[in-house]
């Protein structure tokens, strides 16, 4: 099986580049090899590789910056995935794409299912929702996996930010009114590989039978405040922390260019019922991730 992966340097893409070679011949691309703002380059990359499976882990994920760069966010998050879906249909390839809990407005008080109405509050969420719609219109055998609060121990994730703040500040103020499911990039990549392995051979037909949107995130949900407390507790180098107290804060105390949904936890029952799989609890996964 020939696989093309877009976004190999992102949190999820980096993990996928390590798990996908078990499943086939992988061509992993970064921005230099295929800039998603250049739709012809995306088409070219796919026509050259003629994959059986296309996985898109790339995205414009700068939520605040997207308010100023809507055009770029729309190209990367909406137009490019639409082209990938169209090309995958022409090539007879399966397409796996990721979306976000930020397609919801966060006004619900129980976890969102795939049937709940979307209503994104910011440009990033709107561009991702447009991407979902473009994939649904153009695709044939595709999965859109909506996930939330993705982190890795590399780069600029919330986990690394909390660890960094804990070494620089005696008090941390962390919002308690934003609720979601922390999702370790590695477990999401492994789950993606498991779905592919489980539905092989005849992946195209299997995925076409099940195609659509699924919620897939760490089990259980929490606030950023509680998440931060666990990050500090699982820190393997606690002796480096100078933090003495973590205080709960409200989102309105931190004005940001983009509004965030307050309650955006995802209900992953549909994924579990369809594939017989679920991601472990966010706490267990965080402990594992931080054990190195």
Ligand X SMILES: NC(=O)c1ccc[n+]([C@@H]2O[C@H](COP(=O)([O-])OP(=O)(O)OC[C@H]3O[C@@H](n4cnc5c(N)ncnc54)[C@H](OP(=O)(O)O)[C@@H]3O)[C@@H](O)[C@H]2O)c1
Q: Where in the sequence numbering do the catalytic residues fall?
A: 124
Segment 243 to 272, residues that bind ligand X, using CB under 6 A: none
Closest CB 74 distance from ligand X, rounded Å: 11
- Measured from the CB atom, is 7 or 211 closer to ligand X? 7
Sign of CA dihedral 250, 114, 9, 70: negative
Could you say which of 58, 166, 178, 285 contacts ligand X (CB under 6 A)? 58
The Cα 135–Cα 74 span in angstroms is: 13
Sign of CA dihedral 196, 200, 205, 210: negative
12 binds ligand X (CB under 6 A): yes
Map residues 141-180 to x or -, x wherever contact with ligand X holds by CB under 6 A. Answer: ------xxxx------------------------------
Could you say which of 7, 51, 111, 261 contacts ligand X (CB under 6 A)? 7
57 binds ligand X (CB under 6 A): yes
- DSSP assignments along 89-150, one per residue: HHHT-EEEEEEEGGGS-S--SSPBPTTSPP--SSHHHHHHHHHHHHHHHH-SSEEEEEE-SE
- Measured from the CB atom, is 60 or 214 closer to ligand X? 60
Segment interacting with ligand X (CB under 6 A) among 84-92, 93-101, 161-169, 235-243: 93-101
125 binds ligand X (CB under 6 A): no
Map residues 173-212 to x or -, x wherever contact with ligand X holds by CB under 6 A. Answer: ------------x---------------------------
Q: CB of 134 within 8 A of CB of 85?
A: yes
Q: CB of 188 within 8 A of CB of 243?
A: no
Closest CB 137 distance from ligand X, rounded Å: 18
Closest CB 242 distance from ligand X, rounded Å: 27
Q: Is 69 exposed, middle or buried (0-12, 13-18, 19+ CB in 10 A)?
A: middle
The Cα 290–Cα 280 span in angstroms is: 15
Please, how many CA atoms are within 13 Å of residue 267, restricted to the half-sphere of its CB?
12
Enter the tokens of residue 262. Answer: 């307050």
- Measured from the CB atom, is 64 or 240 closer to ligand X? 64
Q: CB of 26 within 8 A of CB of 75?
A: no
DSSP SS3 for 214? strand
Could you say which of 4, 11, 73, 135 contacts ligand X (CB under 6 A)? 11
The Cα 131–Cα 144 span in angstroms is: 10
Closest CB 62 distance from ligand X, rounded Å: 8
Closest CB 231 distance from ligand X, rounded Å: 15
The Cα 19–Cα 15 span in angstroms is: 6
Could you say which of 5, 16, 28, 60 contacts ligand X (CB under 6 A)? 60
Could you say which of 2, 23, 24, 31 contacts ligand X (CB under 6 A)? 31
The Cα 101–Cα 180 span in angstroms is: 8
Closest CB 22 distance from ligand X, rounded Å: 20
Could you say which of 59, 66, 91, 191 contacts ligand X (CB under 6 A)? 59
Q: Note the residues at the interface with ligand X (CB under 6 A).
A: 7, 9-13, 30-31, 35-37, 57-61, 76, 98, 100-101, 128, 147-150, 185
């Amino acid at each position: 099986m020939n696989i093309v992966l877009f976004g190999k340097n992102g949190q999820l893409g980096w993990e996928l580049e390590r798990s996908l070679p078990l499943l086939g011949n992988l061509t992993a691309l970064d921005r230099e090899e295929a800039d998603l703002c250049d739709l012809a380059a995306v088409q070219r990359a796919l026509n050259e590789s003629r994959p059986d499976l296309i996985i898109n882990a790339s995205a414009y994920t700068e939520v605040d910056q997207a308010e100023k760069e809507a055009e770029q966010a729309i190209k990367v998050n909406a137009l490019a995935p639409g082209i990938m879906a169209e090309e995958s249909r022409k090539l007879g390839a399966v397409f796996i794409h990721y979306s976000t809990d930020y397609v919801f407005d966060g006004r619900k008080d129980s976890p969102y299912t795939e049937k709940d109405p979307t209503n994104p509050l910011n440009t990033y969420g709107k561009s991702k929702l447009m991407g979902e719609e473009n994939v649904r219109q153009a695709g044939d055998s595709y999965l859109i996996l909506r996930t939330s609060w993705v982190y890795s121990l590399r780069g600029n994730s919330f986990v690394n930010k909390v660890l960094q703040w804990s070494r620089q500040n005696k008090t941390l103020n962390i919002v308690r009114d934003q609720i979601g499911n922390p999702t370790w990039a590695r477990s999401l990549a492994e789950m993606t590989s498991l779905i592919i392995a489980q539905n092989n051979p005849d992946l195209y037909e299997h995925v076409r039978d099940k195609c659509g949107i699924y919620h897939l995130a760490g089990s259980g949900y929490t606030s950023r405040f509680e998440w931060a407390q666990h990050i500090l507790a699982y820190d393997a180098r606690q002796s480096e922390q100078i933090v003495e107290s973590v205080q709960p804060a409200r989102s309105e105390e931190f004005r940001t260019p983009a509004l965030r949904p307050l309650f955006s936890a995802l209900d992953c029952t549909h994924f579990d019922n369809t594939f017989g799989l679920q991601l472990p609890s966010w706490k267990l996964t965080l402990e594992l991730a931080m054990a190195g």
